[in-house]
Structure 1
Amino acid sequence: MKTYLREPARADVIVVGGGLMGAATAFFLRTHGLSVILLERDLVGQAASGTNFGNVRRQGRYLPQLPLSNRSRDIWGRLPELIGEDAEFLPNGHIRVTTRPEDGERLEQYARDCKPYGLDLTIMTGDQARKMFPMVGPDITTVSYSPHDGHANPRLAAPAFGRAARRAGALVVERCEVTAISKDASDFVVEAANGGRYIAPMLQISGGAWGRWMAKSFGEDVPMAPQAPQMGVTEPLPYRIAPVIGSASGVTEEVVYLRQVKRGNIIFGGGRRGTADLVTKRARLDPMNTLRQMPCLARLVPAVSQLRVIRTWSGVEGYVEDSLPVMGASPTVSGLFYAFGFCGHGFQLGPAVGATMAELIATGSTDIPLDPFRMSRFTQDAATGPAATATRQT
């Protein structure tokens, strides 16, 4: 039987990886008039973009990341007019709480430091906070309140951008496992297990935890490892918790967070991460971590101690050694761009990552500072790299 080669598909840009970053980039590239092919191994938004906690927060971030985060918050508020869906975004606020004086001092310092970046936080004592948020537990001593942050549904966000990109004219190819990426004199060539062949002069790698091996095919490596954040959901109770509530503890096991959806269920996450396998695409859920999470969650909101957990899950996420993503143009390969490795705190950033990368690809520049996220930081002396440790609350 004869084998017929499929005619290659061509575009201005190929985006590999159909998570929130890739889908948003594809959509915004179309607003710049560029033709784009979005390739996703499974379904758009099926991996980490669809299994995370759903936090849309700015506070607690690495300060130079706030311009990107602020841009994203603006886009989150305009989703219905941009893509025709709201992804259940609720701007009901975000509070970070502490039980120790030293953690409270860090919250107060951060509130001072972030103000020049346009983020205004309100610091409250535990008693002041309980007057405004009566569900907060009696052990809480300091609270940082960001009134315009909130949460959204991660199962909806990336698919919504994918549909919007397709409506705008992008070629979105799902169930398309990339097997090889190369570049000839002028074009990138992407080959897929389904026999597809895709060609473009520009390429963005947005492969999440799998982005490292794609970058290595161009001689650029990232100290990044796959891990499995741990999430769960409780049975419903009457809706009463509007803001996202997260711990600002310096103790890993105590860094938990929760949000309540309008249906009444409480979604939670945090604590230790499990292991993940890039080959099997499996994330290991640790039942002991769920047991450790529960008393910490009850310290935030005592009512949680009376609820049954009805489901737990995880996802495969990529964590870079310095807890910052890889974002921007390749320092060595013309036409190559990166947007991966968001270390469990990329959901809120996703829309602005797409807008910023599309702007960079289409025009060659962007007003959003990307220097801390450059690929070249891994080949420079550590003393010249960004001094950063990003908060690990997603």
Structure 2
Amino acid sequence: MSGPQVDTVAPTDQLPAEAEVVIVGGGIIGTSTALFLAQRGVSVVLCEKGHIAGEQSSRNWGWVRKTRRDPREIPLVIESLRLWERMNETVEAETGFRTTGILFAAETDEDVTRCETWLDYARPYQLDARLISGAELDALMPGASKMWKAALYSASDGRAEPQKAAPAVALAARRAGAVILTDCAVRGVERTGGRISAAVTERGTIRCKSLVVAGGAWSRRFVSDLGLRLPQLKVRASVARTAPLDGVPETALWCKDAAFRKRLDGGYNIADGFANVAPITPDSFRFFNDFLPVMKMDWEALKLRLDSRFVQEWREAAPVPLDQTSPYEKVRVLDPKPDSRFTRGAVASLARRFPAFNNARIVQEWAGMIDVMPDVVPVISAVDEVPGLVIATGFSGHGFGIGPGAGRLVADIVMGTSPIVDPTPFRFSRFTDGSRPQPVSGI
């Protein structure tokens, strides 16, 4: 198996003895955090156990959207889109960002009601999202043999290239003064008086004042070694990439059996818009009650599977002494096998609706592990129990589009400055303060 080809970030060999901040994880969240900290003159070291954007940050659909976001995320994604709109200029490189619009199809009256419910949530933010139908919908989806009842559409949403974006941000962070280390796993931390005082990597120790865990699907295991309970599970999502294809709409589309968006190379990323595989692991039982509300809500979309991950995660769960090889070194990149049945089915479904997709040639398929929280909202938060620790994880499939804004918010939290948005909805303590966090229903 092999994931998508990601732009290369050349390794740095020298391990700094100290830094103000160490970041664990080189995805879009970690690299964005490094960039915003370095731009403020903070000494920062980013440690990635594999290569930059090796996991879900390069394996997602590439959507950058406000539409159909959880209402708690809307303020942050608004700020993130503002950052995306000038990202190529900021990082002095091509990230693939383009404002091309995103459309969510509504096939039934119930779907239309769900769209209207979301618009009610979004109305205070004065977004440009709206319901469209008829000739306006036809114009956005040219060549469709059958049209939907309506669609939720935002012209200001866009797309970017996951295989380019985080590497470009990482290189910009390096130019701003950050140290970017690849093939350098952080095995754990040292604490002095309960506070983070060092990151212990496979290459040696880096003294630091703060540590940011932006490890995606690995974050739960990392913080569990600190005695913290983070109710996070993994969901496997698969994507197909086509060769360049003519006659397909520019506007990205989601419907219940397929989703697509145009790539910078003229091809398309295609996925099943309504199928995700949830591997059954020991954590599935550990966090069963936490995830019961979302399971009830999205039962049709979750495909439970018992596979090799159960034994693998059971074996790697125990703490490992910091002077021994960690699980992060044994598995540099999570590279699960894609579910071709879903991706090929999505292509076939699109071909039935858009004749141009009959000419689609799949040149690659891949899968990635999405880090999911019980309320489908990320944790972006300092942790009171471990001073100096900041967690940024659980983006639940929304991390790529929200990444720059999340990185900016993490930088604000680390520095103790006025946050770009109110971080309260993303607090770690919501899982222990009696809030009983749940996903928003009806959207």
Check whether the contact 1:59–1:146 (CA below 8 A) recurs between aligned residues: yes
Q: Distance in 1 between matches of 2:442 and 2:179?
A: 36
Q: Distance in 1 between matches of 2:233 and 2:74?
A: 25
Match of 1:77 among 78, 85, 90: 85
Deviates more, 1:275-284 or 1:66-75: 275-284
Cα separation, partners in 2 of 1:137 and 1:110, compared to 1, 3 Å? farther
**Residue pairs, 1:243-254, within 5 angstroms:** 243-247=251-255, 249=256, 254=257
Q: Counterpart amino acid of 1:272?
A: A
Question: Which residue is equivalent to 2:389?
Answer: 336
Match of 1:188 among 197, 201, 204: 197
Match of 2:66 among 49, 52, 58: 58
Question: Which residue is equivalent to 1:272?
Answer: 275
Match of 1:345 among 386, 398, 420: 398
Q: Counterpart amino acid of 1:294?
A: V
Match of 2:265 among 260, 263, 276: 263
Deviates more, 1:31-40 or 1:360-369: 360-369
Tell me, what secondary structure is at the counterpart of 2:409?
A: helix
Q: Distance in 1 between matches of 2:356 and 2:107?
A: 18
How far did residue 388 of structure 1 move? 2.2
**Residue pairs, 1:3-18, within 5 angstroms:** 9-18=17-26
Count of matched residue positions in the alignment of Structure 1 and Structure 2: 378
Q: Distance in 2 between matches of 1:89 and 1:296?
A: 27
**Residue pairs, 1:1-394, within 5 angstroms:** 9-185=17-193, 186-193=195-202, 195-238=203-246, 240-247=248-255, 249=256, 254=257, 256-270=258-272, 271-274=274-277, 275=279, 280=331, 281-298=334-351, 301-381=354-434, 384-389=435-440
Q: Distance in 1 between matches of 2:17 and 2:353?
A: 52
Cα separation, partners in 2 of 1:332 and 1:241, compared to 1, 3 Å? same
In structure 2, runs of 5+ residues without a counterpart are 1-13, 280-308, 314-326
Tell me, what secondary structure is at the counterpart of 2:73?
A: helix
Check whether the contact 2:248–2:357 (CA below 8 A) recurs between aligned residues: no
In structure 1, runs of 5+ residues without a counterpart are 1-5
Q: Counterpart amino acid of 1:62?
A: D
Cα separation, partners in 2 of 1:44 and 1:291, compared to 1, 3 Å? closer
Cα separation, partners in 2 of 1:299 and 1:343, compared to 1, 3 Å? farther
Q: Distance in 2 between matches of 1:360 and 1:177?
A: 24
Cα separation, partners in 2 of 1:300 and 1:376, compared to 1, 3 Å? farther
Cα separation, partners in 2 of 1:138 and 1:126, compared to 1, 3 Å? farther
How far did residue 282 of structure 1 move? 3.2
Deviates more, 1:361-370 or 1:340-349: 361-370
1:1-42 per-residue CA deviation (whole Å, 9 max, x = no partner) reads xxxxx9862111111111110010011001222111111111
Deviates more, 1:262-271 or 1:322-331: 262-271
1:371-394 per-residue CA deviation (whole Å, 9 max, x = no partner) reads 22211122233xx234424999xx
How far did residue 316 of structure 1 move? 2.4
CA RMSD of aligned residues (A): 2.3
How far did residue 244 of structure 1 move? 1.1
Cα separation, partners in 2 of 1:243 and 1:362, compared to 1, 3 Å? same
The alignment-based identity, stated in percent, is 30
Q: Distance in 2 between matches of 1:305 and 1:7?
A: 52
Q: Distance in 1 between matches of 2:352 and 2:56?
A: 28
Tell me, what secondary structure is at the counterpart of 2:151?
A: strand
Check whether the contact 1:126–1:143 (CA below 8 A) recurs between aligned residues: no
How far did residue 127 of structure 1 move? 4.1
How far did residue 367 of structure 1 move? 4.2
Question: Which residue is equivalent to 1:3?
Answer: none
Cα separation, partners in 2 of 1:27 and 1:262, compared to 1, 3 Å? closer
Query: How does the TM-score come out when normalised to structure 1?
Result: 0.89
Q: Distance in 2 between matches of 1:31 and 1:269?
A: 36
Tell me, what secondary structure is at the counterpart of 2:68?
A: coil
Check whether the contact 2:129–2:153 (CA below 8 A) recurs between aligned residues: yes
Tell me, what secondary structure is at the counterpart of 2:98?
A: coil
Q: Distance in 1 between matches of 2:110 and 2:141?
A: 23
Q: Distance in 1 between matches of 2:143 and 2:226?
A: 51
1:249-275 per-residue CA deviation (whole Å, 9 max, x = no partner) reads 4xxxx3x31012253312112342244
